[in-house]
Amino acid sequence: MTNHPKNTGDTLVRIEDLRVTATTDSGRKIEILKGINFDVRRGEVLALIGESGSGKTTIALSLLAYARSGCHFSGGRVLLDGVDLIALDEGSRQKLRGNKVSYVPQSAAASFNPSKKIMDQVVEVAEIHGILDKAAARTKAIGLFRALSLPSPETIGNRYPHQVSGGQLQRLAAAMALLGDPELVVFDEPTTALDVTTQIEVLKAFKSAILDRGMTGVYVSHDLAVVAQISDRIIVLKDGEVQEAGETEQIVGAPAHPYTQALIAAFEPVEAEAAGSRPASTAVLEMRDVIAGYGNVKSDGKPHIIAVDSVSLTLQRGHSLGVIGESGCGKSTLLRVAAGLLPAASGSCILDGNTLRPQVSARSKDELRKMQIVFQLADTALNPAQTVGNIIGRPLTFYHGMRGAEREKRVIELLDMVRMPAQFRHRLPRELSGGQRQRVNLARALAAKPDVLLCDEITSALDTVVAAKVLELLKELQRELHLSYLFVSHDIHTVQSLCDEVMVMFGGRKLETFAAADLHAEARHPYTKLLASSLPTLDPTWLDNLQQDPELVRKFAHA
């Protein structure tokens, strides 16, 4: 289907000059969709691609005749089978939702009601619209569970949402969307929250369900590579406007619009020019046989739940060590142990030849200064009530006793270091974009004049283009300031483009460490190979041609 665009189907959806306006808390009106036009033909999958704020989810929800609170339809039409959804009253909209158009949410974990059994939620659509009686709905749901290759399809519905994995929940959400045999299914970033190895299982299940049913779908994503596997046509969005629309092969193969070209360029991994080729240096940070975890310490001196199990690593001065693994592998915990936020149960952490005390409160000011942490979510790590100047200035006062004009001058220097203009020091975090906030987060860590930066998934919440720029900045800073990075990420491309060495973790243990350039070497651990092969590429045939050892997948993927 993907590679054989069908032009035969008639038009199911026509969006004409769609405008949605949001009213901010201060009463200001912002147009978030600025006149969108496109068609969806029956039997095709259309992808909406764009970065955060591009309006892709707003368009997706408009197909269900819904605008989130604070937003309203300010113009245009959304025609489904010739009926304008925007002109309908609430009662008619309810009849349509789940029945003619259904929705697969981004985070199924949050979108399932925690206090109801999965089956009751899946068949609720039939109950609301009176499509099927309870027994028939259940039988149909079990059939869908089977079609989406869920384990034990007969009984999985009797569980509560917290009793199944994230990948399973995402497929259960798809079953919920398909139960009412809708004419249109809207997928809203349905695999974004999943680990790469899990994503493949879910994508395969979605793709075969789409093919089997000849479904019409709108697939929203920020990830071009994912979209390339599943869609017939792609619409590229930015700031509430369509930039480019075309067949999948054309968009990923021969993008016409400069913005699409930038997206594709940001996607292609830049191999670290110096990776592996830099001369060995002295160790700045060493961790030896670290065991750490959560819960009470048992009689054998180990914590109740072990998150990091006997991990050792060496970070060389001026180098970057990437730590990769999937959710729950212990990579972030390892970082928290190094920072002293979670004291290790045993093992040692050596900075510049001095063994550090396990807990942050027992470390000296100079030890704290030398090693700074940068958190994943700058939105929550920055105090919303403080100006950027104060946020960066506080560590200057704390570590270096700077005040007044001297401090101000240094704040401006630091902002310049992260390529931000000096007047931004008067702004509050909420007045910055996501990428700018992450730069401030970085500048705050740099204010201490550290030797080592502990980076926890710092580009994961950013859009591809923005993340690429932040990575570029990290490389420049490393050259200028001779910094060493311990860089935790789930994204093998990010780690490969930034780091000299890569360490792979699974289930709290270190599997292997290797030079970044040797990622594709034959000697790699099977799990490393699985991770590398699970990352989608822009090639639309990638998913269909993907060969993975099922034994290996069973062992390592938590789908």
Give the list of residues 6+ apart from residue 321 with CB closer than 8 angstroms, or none.
313, 314, 315, 484, 485, 486, 487, 499, 500, 501, 502, 503
Sign of CA dihedral 340, 345, 351, 355: positive
When asked if residue 96 is in the footprint of another protein (CB under 8 A), the reply is yes
When asked if residue 25 is in the footprint of another protein (CB under 8 A), the reply is no
In the list 43, 50, 55, 105, the residue contacting another protein (rule: CB under 8 A) is 105
Q: Which stretch binds another protein (CB under 8 A): 61-69, 189-197, 292-300, 409-417?
A: 61-69
CB 451 within 8 A of CB 483: yes
Question: Closest CB to another protein among 50 and 180?
Answer: 180
As beta bridge partners, residue 510 has 505
What's 531-555 look like in SS3? HHHHCCCCCCCHHHHCCCCHHHHHH
In the list 14, 38, 88, 107, the residue contacting another protein (rule: CB under 8 A) is 107
Question: Closest CB to another protein among 12 and 193?
Answer: 193
| Shortest distance, position 129 Cβ to another protein, whole Å | 6
In the list 103, 206, 399, 527, the residue contacting another protein (rule: CB under 8 A) is 103
| Shortest distance, position 66 Cβ to another protein, whole Å | 7
State the Cα torsion 143-146-147-148 to the nearest 10°: 130
Q: Nearest 5°: phi and psi at 353?
A: 85, -10
| Shortest distance, position 74 Cβ to another protein, whole Å | 20
C-alpha distances (whole Å) from 141 to each of 155, 156, 202, 506 are 11, 11, 17, 34
Q: Which stretch binds another protein (CB under 8 A): 28-36, 47-55, 58-66, 269-277?
A: 58-66
Count the Cβ atoms, other than its own, within 10 Å of residue 223.
17
Edge-to-edge strands of the sheet including 217-221? 101-104, 184-188, 217-221, 45-49, 233-238, 241-247
Q: Which stretch binds another protein (CB under 8 A): 97-105, 218-226, 420-428, 486-494?
A: 97-105
> Which two tokens mark 487?
């860089």
Site for another protein in 75-94 (CB under 8 A): 94
State the Cα torsion 383-389-394-396 to the nearest 10°: 150
When asked if residue 178 is in the footprint of another protein (CB under 8 A), the reply is no
**How would DSSP label each residue in 7-47?**
--SPEEEEEEEEEEEEE-TTS-EEEEEEEEEEEEETT-EEE
C-alpha span between 348 and 463 (Å, rounded) = 36
Question: Closest CB to another protein among 62 and 260?
Answer: 62
Q: Where are the alpha helices (DSSP H) in 382-421?
A: 388-400, 404-417
Binding mask 516-535 for another protein (x = CB under 8 A): --------------------
| Shortest distance, position 452 Cβ to another protein, whole Å | 38
In the list 62, 102, 170, 191, the residue contacting another protein (rule: CB under 8 A) is 102
Question: Closest CB to another protein among 129 and 427?
Answer: 129
Binding mask 125-164 for another protein (x = CB under 8 A): x--xx------------------------------x-x--
| Shortest distance, position 157 Cβ to another protein, whole Å | 15
| Shortest distance, position 180 Cβ to another protein, whole Å | 8
Question: Closest CB to another protein among 188 and 501?
Answer: 188
When asked if residue 112 is in the footprint of another protein (CB under 8 A), the reply is yes
Q: Which stretch binds another protein (CB under 8 A): 6-14, 100-108, 360-368, 547-555?
A: 100-108
C-alpha span between 520 and 529 (Å, rounded) = 7
Binding residues for another protein (CB under 8 A): 61, 64, 66, 94-99, 102-103, 105, 107, 110-116, 124-125, 128-129, 160, 162, 176
